[in-house]
Amino acid sequence: MNRTFVPDTTALLGRSLRHIGRSPDTIITTAIMPVGFLLLFVYVFGGAIRTGSDHYVNYLLPGILVMTIASGISYTAYRLFLDRQSGIFERFRSMPIARSAVLWAHVLTSLVANLISLVVVVAVAFLMGFRTSAGPGAWLAVVGILALFTLSLTWLAVIPGLTAKTVDGASAFAYPLIFLPFISSAFVPTDDMPGPVRAFAENQPVTSIVDTLRDLLTGQPVGSGVWTALAWCTGLLVVACAAATAVYRRTT
């Protein structure tokens, strides 16, 4: 590793965070849609959905948190696209800085911004009646899983950010990720789904992640699903990071 990697990444991270600080609408926009879904499903559909939970918001929140991350990472692709179009990458190449620091600064910016959005969503959920019996260890595990999921999707977002031809193309890739929770256990149990839909829902990454988060937040024993969730997140992170790094080296 380049010995200047850490200070270079820190400096570039500060630059990206200052940009977000000057336009807080990024975080606000990221949180608006998940909060809107939270309000819609709890107050409009919640009474008609049977989940076995006393309060539907307790069942719903883990899926909304995953959706928050899926909608937030599109801004990573957007910011990378703007940097590439503005020629800032070429300017950085002429400076004695670690090349990988540019990507890592964007990735860590996404992690910070998404964690702030998640805090906003959780705060709204508490105002709506969300309650949890999770202890400090369970909350730490929840934060760790969400952070790992954010990193894996962010590295995936780096690829369209570096390869897209238009700004719309850079951010549009996140749309399928946003709707993936709808075909999972995020909003309703999978038991009553039609056969093929249920098979897909029970074997896609969102279901294992959401179920693990739900068990942690409700104080239930975490089964083997946690290892499935970690395997999905870790596998996606490794593949996406390798692919994004290769694309970065080729395009710059």
What are the extents of the domains in the chain?
5-251
Rounded to whole angstroms, how far apart are CA atoms 28 and 16?
Answer: 17
Is-contact 11 103, C-beta < 8 A? no
For 23, 43, 94, 190, the CA distances from 69, given in Å and listed in that order, are 19, 23, 34, 22
Pick from 5, 11, 163: which is nearest to 77 by CA? 163
In the 8-state DSSP scheme, what is residue 128?
A: T
Q: What is the pLDDT of residue 240?
A: 94
Give the 3-state secondary structure of residue 131: coil
Quick one: average pLDDT of 66-84? 85
Rounded to whole angstroms, how far apart are CA atoms 186 and 59?
Answer: 8
Q: What is the pLDDT of residue 212?
A: 95
- Enter the pTM of the model: 0.89
Q: What is the pLDDT of residue 171?
A: 74
In this model, does residue 126 exceed pLDDT 60?
A: yes
